[in-house]
Amino acid sequence: MSNNETKRTNQAMPMLAMRGLVLFPDTVMHFDVGREKSILALRAAMDLDRKIFLVAQRDIKQEDPSIDDLYQVGVVATVKQLLKADKNTVRVLVEGEYKAKLVDLLSEKPFFLADIKKINNITRPKLEAQEQEAFVRLVKNIYEQYCEALPNVPKEMVLQVLAEDNPNKLLSQIMTNILISYEDKQMILEVNNVFKALELLVDFLQKEIEVLNLEHDIYNKVRVQMDKNQRDYFLREQLKVIQSELNDGDSPEDEVYELMAKVEQIKNIDDASREKLFKECERLSKMPMQSQEANVIRSYLEVCLDLPFDTFTKETIDVKKARAQLDKDHYGLDKVKDRILELLAVRQLNPDIKGQIICLVGPPGVGKTSIASSIAKTLNRRYARISLGGVRDESEIRGHRKTYLGSMPGRIIAALRQAKTNNPLILLDEIDKMGNDFRGDPASAMLEVLDSAQNNAFVDHYVEIPFDLSKVLFITTANTLDTIPGPLRDRMEIIELSSYTRQEKFNIAKKHLVKKQLQKHGLTSKMLTIKDEALYDIIDSYTREAGVRKLERCIGTVCRKAAKLIVSGEQTKVTATSKNIEDLIAPRRYKKSNANLENRVGVVSGLAWTSVGGEMLEIEVAVMSGSGKVKLTGSLGDVMKESAEIAISYVRTIANQYNIKPDFYKTCDIHIHAPEGAVPKDGPSAGVTMVTALVSALTGIPVRGDIAMTGEISLRGRVMPIGGLKEKSMAAYREQKSVVIIPKENKPDLYEVDEQVKEAITFVPAKEISDVLDVALIKNEDAVDKITQNMWCEFDVQQPTVII
């Protein structure tokens, strides 16, 4: 046949790939369609002549099949009815017309368009009329036997099939009404000779009849073996008969012997625990294997035998390689890295050391979780992470008693099963987010887990046998220590991670985040280039955070915009600069302003600590003629309101020193306000800030705009120490303050402040509130120089350098 003739006999038609269904000519079938490509093919067929080619796919799990995933022979059908079943499903009724062969796929989008060729049935070798009639009778007889062996077959359906004499229609109707696999149906569909197809059908029906009769015999045998009081064991007895008939599968006794052999092979287990497991195996052997209690015991034994009593990984410790690995994964964090290397060095000298439990504390996004992963990689230990955020039930840690329905082991045992070794590194993430309620206190359950003197025999409520946790290296993370109970905090060594400086954020973005986001979005450095000035602009204008998560999201935004420009063909290469950064992200959220650096009356910049880093907190005071009323606004807590009352009382004691009217508390109304009123604020460290703002407002003397301060004040004017100096100093550095007044008793805490911050900021320690006012109020340059000189003399040479 020539190519032109081939083209004339072929036909282009929408195609639908069927999953687990095979349609035959002269039959009607209804089914649901959910794939978008298939729905579009049906709609295309409705718009044309309602003809569609239906072909089965070889693997029903394939979501988007290609031509190699489809059978070659299918059926052309007419779409009779199309209904919308629900939002994403269409119900269709089709009638098979004739068989066709899939020659090629002309198109795969938006739907399959197939090049098909009609297949004509042949009847070679030719049979006599009597032979054909005998063959049809044989098929009907076999089909009638099949229906008798199959329960609950409607008689109307059987009579309808038996009334058909046409071999082709008889084949189609029987194939539609029998229960065989779609692969067998496809095999029969592909046979062109109808009598050859009927021979295969007879063979399949004979096998099905034998299987159905065997099932019926097994059922009768089981009923004979059953007593009136043994109906609950019907399924178990049926399984026994099936196994005996097939002579396949292990007996229940073999399963018990296998479990006991596994118990015997465990080396690192005490005799009492081994005996307990043996008793559980004996109990299992005496129970019906399909009973509920047997399933509980079997699950319990599987959990216990899955624990890594004897499995461990060989720890490799190389301080130099560890330093290189940490530097590769993280930029900065030198103090944290040094402490980790010290831990590794000690473990190298004394591998059996126990009780080294580290708690990484810091604001979100500074790399606490990723550091733990790097440590595991360095030590060649398996890594498992347990998220404790929101855990309120003690059973989440210790497990549930196996007597309860749906009981399971706790998260510690689950992590060990996941790691599959008895010496993994387990990260207890967000340990400060645990709560407690009527179900118990999970923090109390963690006391045994993190105590090296107790965790060598940790007992989970579900497992009920001790497991040695002393070989596990636990690392915990937290945003704040305030919510961690004292006994639990006492078991951990605290390592604080501070906020990142501007330069550190830039280096992290350039060395890690940009590469990560480029790879994530399918870009290369040739397709997108982010200039250094653009990175600095993103840090300054779009993010105000302690960590780098928002910074990474902004870089991801730039990558998405660049990908859109490149794919649409508008540009072949995108370069992010300070000039076009707003086009790639959005208008700048934070614009540089010198308003907070101006000298103002009654406005003082205080420093506050939050769980996500330090923040700048302004205190404003307005003095008006009145009757001595005091108004506090700004969502202040009880402690902060008390600080305001102490500040007013102390200002009354020093009124004469600053030429303040002694009766100002009677003749003036005072309004103290903390901006951003929607944010709750509390704590005592704003005391010196309130006193300074009050004195400035009452005297009209402006406060230096380049100064920030923190400290609690006593009723006698003594500046008392505060916490969180490291984070507060970072906030002052971020707001471009040049001087920070701190309590004198906090001088040792300056050791923890980053060197970059100490180079940019002058720290002034103050003992009395007069020291604060002499520096903060702009009234006499000589006084500033004098107090600066006196404070400088008080510093120890070995303390961090503080320049006044």
Strands (E), 687-750: 707-709, 712-713, 719-720, 739-743
- Are 346 and 460 found together in one domain? yes
Give the Cα separation of 257 and 253 in Å (integer).
Answer: 6
Three-class SS of residue 493?
Answer: strand
Angle between helices 129-149 and 155-162 (to 10 degrees): 170
User: Across the 804 residues of the chain, what is the mean pLDDT of every consecutive 10-residue run?
Assistant: 48 89 87 87 87 89 86 90 83 90 87 88 62 78 79 74 78 80 85 82 82 79 60 60 55 75 88 89 80 85 90 85 86 82 84 80 86 86 90 86 84 91 91 80 85 85 90 90 86 84 86 92 92 90 86 93 92 91 88 70 88 82 91 89 91 90 89 82 86 93 92 92 87 88 92 85 93 85 42 34 26
- Are 397 and 519 found together in one domain? no
Residue 477 forms beta bridges with which residues? 360
Give the Cα separation of 707 and 425 in Å (integer).
Answer: 45
Q: Identify the domain containing residue 110 by its residue range.
A: 10-118
Q: Is residue 208 domain-resident?
A: no
Q: How many domains does the chain have?
A: 5
**H-helix or E-strand containing 388?**
none
Three-class SS of residue 608?
Answer: strand
- Are 576 and 611 found together in one domain? no
Q: Name the residues annotated as catalytic.
A: 685, 728
What pLDDT is recorded for position 395?
Answer: 86
- Report the chain's C-alpha Rg in angstroms: 40
**H-helix or E-strand containing 576?**
strand 574-576
Q: Is residue 225 domain-resident?
A: no
What pLDDT is recorded for position 612?
Answer: 67
Residue after which a domain boundary falls, among 96, 118, 140: 118
Q: How many CA atoms lie within 13 A of 652 on its CB side?
A: 15
Give the Cα separation of 306 and 317 in Å (integer).
Answer: 28
SS3 of 614-683: the string is EEEEEEEEEEEECCCCEEEECCECHHHHHHHHHHHHHHHHCCHHHCCCCCHHHHEEEEEECCCCCCCECC
Q: Assign residue 565 the CATH number of its domain.
A: 1.10.8.60
What pLDDT is recorded for position 789?
Answer: 41
Residue after which a domain boundary falls, among 64, 86, 118: 118
Q: Is residue 181 domain-resident?
A: no
Q: What is the dihedral of CA 782, 786, 787, 792, to 10 degrees?
A: 140
Question: Which residue, chain included where needed, has tokens 């940490």?
Answer: 326
Q: Residue 676 contacts by C-beta under 8 Å, 6 or more apart in sequence?
A: 634
Burial code of 447-459, b = ≥16 C-beta within 10 A, e = fewer? bbbbbeeebeebe
Nearest to 686 by CA among 650, 636, 753: 636
**Angle value at C-alpha 294, between 290 and 300, nearest 5 degrees:** 135
Burial code of 554-580, b = ≥16 C-beta within 10 A, e = fewer? bbbbbbebbbebbeeeeeeebebeeee
Q: Is residue 40 domain-resident?
A: yes
- Are 635 and 681 found together in one domain? yes
- Are 537 and 418 found together in one domain? no
Instruction: Sort strands 762-766 and 739-743 into parallel, antiparallel or unpaired.
Output: parallel
What pLDDT is recorded for position 790?
Answer: 41
Q: Is residue 142 domain-resident?
A: no
User: What are the φ/ψ torsions at residue 311 (nearest 5 degrees)?
Assistant: -100, 135
Q: Is residue 170 domain-resident?
A: no
- Are 506 and 426 found together in one domain? no
Q: Is residue 220 domain-resident?
A: no
What pLDDT is recorded for position 198?
Answer: 82
**Exposed, middle or buried, 55 (CB in 10 Å: 0-12/13-18/19+)?**
buried
- Are 338 and 472 found together in one domain? yes
- Are 697 and 622 found together in one domain? yes
Q: Assign residue 36 the CATH number of its domain.
A: 2.30.130.40
Both structure tokens of 320 = 């130099």
Amino acid at 526: K
What pLDDT is recorded for position 797?
Answer: 30
Q: Assign residue 332 the CATH number of its domain.
A: 3.40.50.300
Q: Is residue 725 domain-resident?
A: yes
Residue after which a domain boundary falls, among 445, 461, 496: 496
Give the Cα separation of 168 and 719 in Å (integer).
Answer: 102
- Are 440 and 484 found together in one domain? yes
- Are 617 and 763 found together in one domain? yes
- Are 514 and 489 found together in one domain? no
Burial code of 257-279, b = ≥16 C-beta within 10 A, e = fewer? eebbebbeeeeebeeebeebbee
Both structure tokens of 454 = 């107790």
- Are 550 and 600 found together in one domain? no
Q: Residue 791 contacts by C-beta under 8 Å, 6 or more apart in sequence?
A: 764, 765, 766, 771, 804
